[in-house]
Amino acid sequence: MRLFKTKRDEEAAGIKIPRHIAIIMDGNGRWATRRGLPRSAGHAAGAETCRTIFLYCKSIGVKYLTVYAFSTENWKRAKNEVDGIMRLLKKYLGEGLETFEKYESRIKFFGDMTLLSPELRDMVERVEEYTAKFTEYQLNICLNYGSRDEIVRAAQEYAKDYAETGKALDEAAFSDYLYSAGVPDPDMVIRPSGEYRISNFLLWQMAYSELYFTDILWPDFTPEDIDRAIEDYSHRVRLYGGNRKNDKDGAK
């Protein structure tokens, strides 16, 4: 059940729906361990939560949802855990085309796909190509993604262009070299699980994002928790380095 059941309720409470929400999906392993289950069970539960939040965010008017599914550092985990995550991804991509079609949702992947299996790379390409026709709602899945790696790759690509054309560089131009080219920066970044760090996630893009932390483990995260995060976001003042109104000393 939503905290705000109607558009009028939202407006009366001053609720602002973020255009772009990004989520670090954390806590799957701990969720499973606390229940005496294998870590794979936590990842399966987390995948179901991702499906629920994906659909819910579309229903309330969010335009972009970006989720951190697998980082460049996650390859360090046990092979059976990594293999299980990849099997889950195959499962949901295989089942997902009908859902993406039904809800007219575009799917994009941010990250280096070259380390994935040929089968999984092919699935990623087909899903991106098939859903490119949808423009109202976009799910970005960060897979084999690390923000420092993304920035280094962007710098290398720009250097190649500069060597050939002498192209000038500014922030907007640099953003076009990132995996997220064409996607607005996240308004809010949510991290569940009680950790207070950003773990190499969207370092360039979240320069002025509002950060929201909660102790809830990702498999237990619900649409009501999205509502609470949005309510909190709605009461913040986004300054982008400027001053608050009527603040003589300025905002530090």
In this structure, the chain runs to a length of 252
Number of helices and strands in the chain (H, E): 8, 6
As a whole number of angstroms, the distance between CA 111 and CA 120 comes to 13
As a whole number of angstroms, the distance between CA 222 and CA 10 comes to 19
Q: Measure Cα distances from 89 to 5, 47, 112, 184 in Å.
A: 33, 9, 15, 25
Given 9, 26, 232, 246, the catalytic residue: 26
Given 74, 112, 225, 232, the catalytic residue: 74
- E runs forming strands in 41-169: 64-71, 106-110, 138-145
Q: Examine the residue annotation and report whether 74 is marked as an active-site residue of this protein.
A: yes
Q: Which residues does the annotation mark as catalytic? A: 26, 74
